[in-house]
Chain A
Amino acid sequence: MSVDSATIVRVAHLARIAVAPEEVARLEAEFNSMLGFVEQLSGLDVSDVEPMTSVRPMQMKMREDVVTDGGYPARIVANAPASEDDFFVVPKVVE
């Protein structure tokens, strides 16, 4: 499988990464090199194989559904690029 420049632009948007028009050709080449590499898997029949979903066979841990942490908004917003009164300031979302 290989991708074209329209796919690169679509995937970049899905990934929320701005791509300049002049970068598209280079990304297309790199992408196709990587896809060519993973293409090796098509030679392997896995129709009877279960996918691995847990690295070690173990039960999912459960805990009480209670609040165990929190109550320090100043720490939460301490790294925000912009904040006001313990809220994150974001660009306008609703017109």
Chain B
Amino acid sequence: MTDLTKLTIADARAGLANRTFSAAELTEAHISAIEGARALNAFVTETPEKAREMAAASDARIASGNAGRLEGIPLAVKDLFCTDGIKTTASSKILSNFVPSYESTVTANLWHDGAVLLGKVSCDEFAMGGSNEASAFGPVINPWQRLKADGSIDPTPLVPGGSSGGSSAAVAAHLCLGAAGTDTGGSIRQPAAFTGTVGIKPTYGRCSRWGVVAYASSLDQAGPIARTVRDAAILLTSFASVDAKDTTSVDMPVPDYEASVGKSVKGLTIGIPREYRLEGLSPEIAKLWDDGIAWLKDAGANVREITLPHTPYALPAYYIIATAEASSNLARYDGIRYGLRKRGEDIVDTYEQSRAAGFGPEVRRRIMLGTYVLSAGYYDAYYLKAQKVRTLIARDFADAFASGVDAVLAPATPSPAFGIGEISGADPVEMYLQDVFTVTVNLAGLPGMVVPGGKSSTGLPLGLQLIGRPFGEEALFQLGQVIEDAAGTMSARKWW
């Protein structure tokens, strides 16, 4: 029998429908792959027994002709989505024993459609980071390795990106057919770019945030990581819903995104933002971008330069807004109702000791910065100003779309995956610069998708980013397929 972990979701769906293999066999193949890949440290909690139960139930539904849209498809879920009866840690010590008694809306949608849970995957603690090094359970290793100039393998362990680094590594290493991630400043798209996978952050309000551990509520969105554009479209159709439990869930019907895959892009207009040609942009990223432009032109799209003049202010505004919201959201971790408690001399000391012991350094840093920018005397200078800058950034995109642009094409990251420890040094700002091409999309609440577009001189995947109009995900799937057709899908050489 063929290796079932090599299938796409679309292939697996067909194989299950034709009874070429069972959901139980498909799940078993992935459980074995996970057991053989512990060196990657992608999973915080493996749930093989739960997976077998769910797969058996899927086989029963397939047999009775009641298969759901994702029936029998084994997935991994970022450990930020609450799962009923299954430990949910946000990769933090403070939640290391937390077992929710409820299910997030997004994962409930997946199980409703028949998907199978393989386990909970690692992330940067509370989704704060760009490398998955800031997990309380150790870094995740990227399945990709660099090539040296002579073509031999450089075994330096690389990061899988972050914060959804467990999700991207598990998908790239064929440990699951797809994974759930979340994206606050690039946390789906940058890991997808670093692992040669496809990731989409939908429009703010498209996927419910209910039951997802909150980082920065006005920026957080859930979305899938998969190995093909079609698979990402299949998954997003199940992720998205209208949910009364999330007041920012937008009341719009969910289209069948897969129907957009393969549709012609003739006549679509693609904007190329001048401001993203950063000074010092690496020549291989510039070439990747030019290749993407050429592929979309060849497919019949019109390409023209646009200006997004407030781009340089996006990262600083992001770090003010995200840390402010984090300081408020994470106030709930006080060692009283759930989570780690460290006894202090009195109640306040108990809070302070519990939070100092439970949060890692990056989370403590961001909570403190957020506390500072919201504190008396600084609110106007920092937080209010950042909210105004956010208006300007959203307006830049709105102006481009009003002038007839259907989508924007840009790089996903300024570089390919870097080595563990290479930039998690003394200055936190260095890591923040990873998000330079992605945060604007969260600030403006737009959909953004990353598709592999080529490889670096060191043999690592590089991603192209497509940014859409609000609720313009369908155009992204159309355009993404054109890039995938030209660049092909890519797979890491197995070494683990």
Contacts and interface: CB of A to CB of B under 8 A. Distances in A.
Interface of A: 1, 3, 7-8, 11-19, 27, 29-31, 33-41, 44, 46, 49-53, 55-56, 58, 60-61, 63, 72, 75-82, 88, 90-93
7 contacts: A19-B356, A29-B426, A34-B319, A35-B369, A38-B382, A41-B320, A75-B101
Given A51-B387, A78-B99, A11 B429 contact: no
B470 A56 contact: yes
Given A38-B386, A92-B346, 6 more contacts: A11-B375, A31-B365, A34-B429, A55-B218, A79-B97, A82-B341
Interface string B194-230: 0000000001110000000000001000000000000
Contact of A52 (B371, B381, B394): B394
B348 interface: yes
A77 B384 CA distance: 38
Nearest to A60: B247
A93 B372 CA distance: 27
Given A18-B356, A56-B445, A81-B339, A41 B368 contact: no
The interface size bin for chain B is 35 or more
B494 interface: no
B389 A44 contact: yes
A76 to B, nearest CB: 8
B204 A55 contact: yes
A37 B101 contact: no
Contacts of B391: 49-52
B432 A37 contact: yes
Contacts of A7: 372
User: Most B CB atoms within 10 A — which of A7, A14, A18, A19?
Assistant: A18
A40 B368 contact: no
Contacts of A72: 101
A16 B334 contact: yes
A81 B429 contact: no
Contacts of B365: 27, 30-31, 34
A82 B335 CA distance: 10
A31 B342 CA distance: 26
A40 B337 contact: no
A29 to B, nearest CB: 8
A91 to B, nearest CB: 5
Interface in B293-326: 310, 312-313, 315-317, 319-320
B359 interface: yes
Given A15-B371, A17-B352, A38-B320, A51 B388 contact: yes
Contacts of A18: 344, 349, 352-353, 355-356
Interface in B366-402: 367-369, 371-372, 375, 381-382, 384-392, 394
Contacts of B367: 15, 17
Nearest to A94: B347
Contacts of B39: none
Nearest to B219: A55
A60 B203 CA distance: 18
B248 interface: yes
A37 B435 CA distance: 14
A46 B386 CA distance: 9
B405 interface: no
Contact of B341 (A12, A13, A37, A81): A81
A13 B368 CA distance: 9
Contacts of B350: 90-91
B50 interface: no
A44 B336 CA distance: 43
Given A15-B327, A17-B364, A56 B372 contact: no
A91 B347 contact: yes
